[in-house]
Chain A
Amino acid sequence: MKKKISIMLATLMISTMGLSGCGKKAPETGTTGGDVIKIGVFEPMTGANAAGGALEIEGIKLANKLYPEVLGKKVELVLVDNKSDKVEAANAASRLVEKEKVTAIIGSWGSSLSMAAGDIVKKAQIPTMGTSCTNPLVTLGNEYYFRVCFIDPFQGTVMANYAFNTLKAKKVAIVQEVSNDYAIGLAKYFTDSFKKLTGDPNCIVAVTNYNTGDQDFTAQLTNLKAKNPDVIFAPGNFTESALVIRQARQLGIKTPFIGGDTWETPEFITTGKEAVEGATFSTFFATEKPITKESEVFLTAYRKEYNGKEPAAVAALGYDAYIILLDAIKRVGSADSVKLRDELAKTKDFQGAAGVINFDENRNAVKSAVIKQVKDGKFTFKEVIEPVK
């Protein structure tokens, strides 16, 4: 009897392996020929950054729905999950370029994940459009990586100016997610900018670290409480940041918290609840201030598609990444990846939903930033900050 069961199990295992191979044997059209153009979507769908990835995918899918074709061919989105993990990100990118043979890639939310894919897309010569990855290292030295968002040297100055000018802060404490390249980069640029503004080399009274996935920050926050800062700058993932602020309020810390664009997800408010009232951060786009005609198109379509929900800034960025790629493909006249890269670099004054896009010499978009604040459990717009020309 046992032998029969083991033979049955073995046959079952082997047949499942064989059948799973049969699944994706669709005719490989690749980048030349066929009547489908494949665009890879490289986002975190699970893991710590899943919410951010989901928002961007909403924007990308919306754009695909509004503009499903280019050059008479259907545009097919190939989604891969980088699982918010650097190792998985490299694997996911490899799968897109080697197995799926996509023409171009959109992604990712999370600079560490984008950087993990950098070498792979450069070697494969597949142009990649970053959506909300703001660390400058993503595009530096990689002529195949572009992005539709601004970079952290700019974002750091935005919040430093806000802290100094609006909040009149002289002493700032920093709580950073040390395992996240984005958080460290942004903290560094903020520090440089704030030191220059105050002229005081000791204006950063404390720097404390935590890791992705940590849940207990009481020790770090108790130390900070003793240093008595005017403002706390906490760049990091939305879940951890919401818990940081919540625990700070529970410890009796009343200091205002400021942060970066990663905070703008629904989970930030559902996890932080009343504690995150007043939290202020910089981001890419505000629905209260549509910038171009495409913004209106995007907003109307998004509200219709998702039943009146207001889009997050990164959804607009996902949307822009898609349409800027399509526009470049149209100009090239074919799905040739190398020619596409060159054409993308020549983009001038592109009317995106989240603003007008011009690429600088490192393929970063030069755009304005928006400051938002949590008020009454919602993200509300505060002001626009223009980039220094």
Chain B
Amino acid sequence: MKTKNIIAVILGFIFYYILDGIIFPWGNVYAHPTFNEVIVKFIELNSSKYFPSQYSIKFSQDAVKYKGEAVTSPGYMEIGESEVDYTILEWIKHGGFSADEPEIPASVRHFYDPIMLSGSKYLTNRGTFIEQYYPNPQINAIDWAIGDNPKGEDNNWTLQKGKQFLKIALESADENTKKENAAKAFRCLGEVLHNTGDMGCPPHTRNDSHAAPFGYTFGFIFGSPDPTEELLNVNSIAIYMDADPDPALKSFCDNATTIRSINEKFAEYTNANFFTTQTINGFGNSLIKPINEDGNYPKPLVNDLEYDSDDYIYYKVFPNQYKIKMLKDRYYFVFRGYPYIDKECVSSQANILVPNIIYAGANVIRLFIPKFQITISSVSSEGEIKGTVKHLQTSEFNSIIQYSGKIEIYNSNSSKISTLECSSGNFSGTISTLKTDDEIYAVLPFPGVNVRSNIFKVGSINYNIIGCSITLRNLTADFKQAYPNGYSETIKDGSLSMGFPKDDPNASVSFLNGTLIQEYSNYQHTDGQFYTEKITIKFDGTMENITSLIASWKRTGNFGTYENRITALNIPRDKTVSSLRYGFSGSNLCDVSKIVSLYKLEDYGSYTYSLIDQTWKCKDNSDLVIYISTQ
């Protein structure tokens, strides 16, 4: 009996490893959908790094099915598509698969040589050989995936089309139209992420054609399979989620404003840092020439690697200090022959390649999701709610999206209390049960993404701030300054100068319950570095005193990232702010009495943050605009 029990346990143990041991290469059936899924999970786990705090990213939790056209009959030259119901995560994964369908046309459109060694960015390796059987479309992978020029026009699932589908989904009030276009949009995202994955795969960036899909009779025309692509253990990629991407690439991705730039930079990085078996050159034991005649890339070079003669391995130490096995040259028949990439090298290189793909992919998703600011503007004593959905333009979405559709209202217990309709960015409705001091917030529900407003206290006055310009010059106060290494210092009577551009789409501003927050994200200064600045000013209940002021900077450049933070508490009135100005638009029509708190500030013009030169006007006879300035 005991023996039987042990055998049962052992069989279960073995069965697991048999299942786990099924290895999948970097292909469309398994690898790309898996990469896409891991990227989605990574961004969900780290959403606060990629999205404003009002965003909730939950692609993998959204169980709603969205009907759309999917590749249901894959093929080499022809495919079949039919209507299926997938969740958003399934559409993103499907895009990873469908980008390679039909497989033969896809296999010659998924190459991008950033340095154009053969004179073009598209695949030319084995060109004359391939062209006897299949005409070279002369389209590179990024043009094909992004679709922002004529080279990508024939691709129905480009980034450009995905953004159009997303805009339609967001602007349509019809639920079916929303869902139908959401499905298309996220399939497009999945196909773009496929391109990102390919740009992290050396042969795709080094013009190294490799084998066609298994079973294709004419596969030989594409050449031999690439070891990196075949030997990568896709089953294990999720465990690289905590590994560090290359610091320079990470910094670039963090600050990128377009998806094209991420994929292009990523291709440059992969091309310059990794070999393929047929594009190895440099000086090792002797002069090494690449097997591919058109594979003589300037970087990396064998002679730039560290060679360990004990194990016949060429190593490269990457900037994150990972020491990676790049090549081996041990042979039985000869002392050190043409270097090669084996399974051990591929496993080692995965420590760089896979985190890079995950990180670049996460930033692709960041840029693919439009940015909105949801605001509850007012709640009347009868419970009538008014609010706005403002689209914050970005480089990817530079034409205004006027949201139409559902807006959900939640109470402070996060219970949904009503669903209102939004039309072209404005929502309204009545919730008769609301009482003074109730706290509510609004949520824009979108497939896989929720965007919420700040909490609105019923009975309070909220202001939309438009055209905000904060300039603090020579604010003298006692500051505590904290540095990224943990060191901090107190500065007596220090001074602070800080300015934000006016009306800049990158600036997000809020003023609620006496707290003014302005954040200016990722703008590139003339020094070439990227800055994120945030200032939070808390006023007391009378709006007469600043109770705290926190200013922070994050600066990213070639040297890495530098963060700084200044905190000043209870700034006394005898300190000076020579300039503090900002503009508000009230939610109600030109009703000056609604800004009584701000008006009071003017009365204290001789005090600290004196707000003189206050003026106001009605803009288009609708919103109230006030500019307060001391300049």
Q: Do A and B bind each other?
A: no
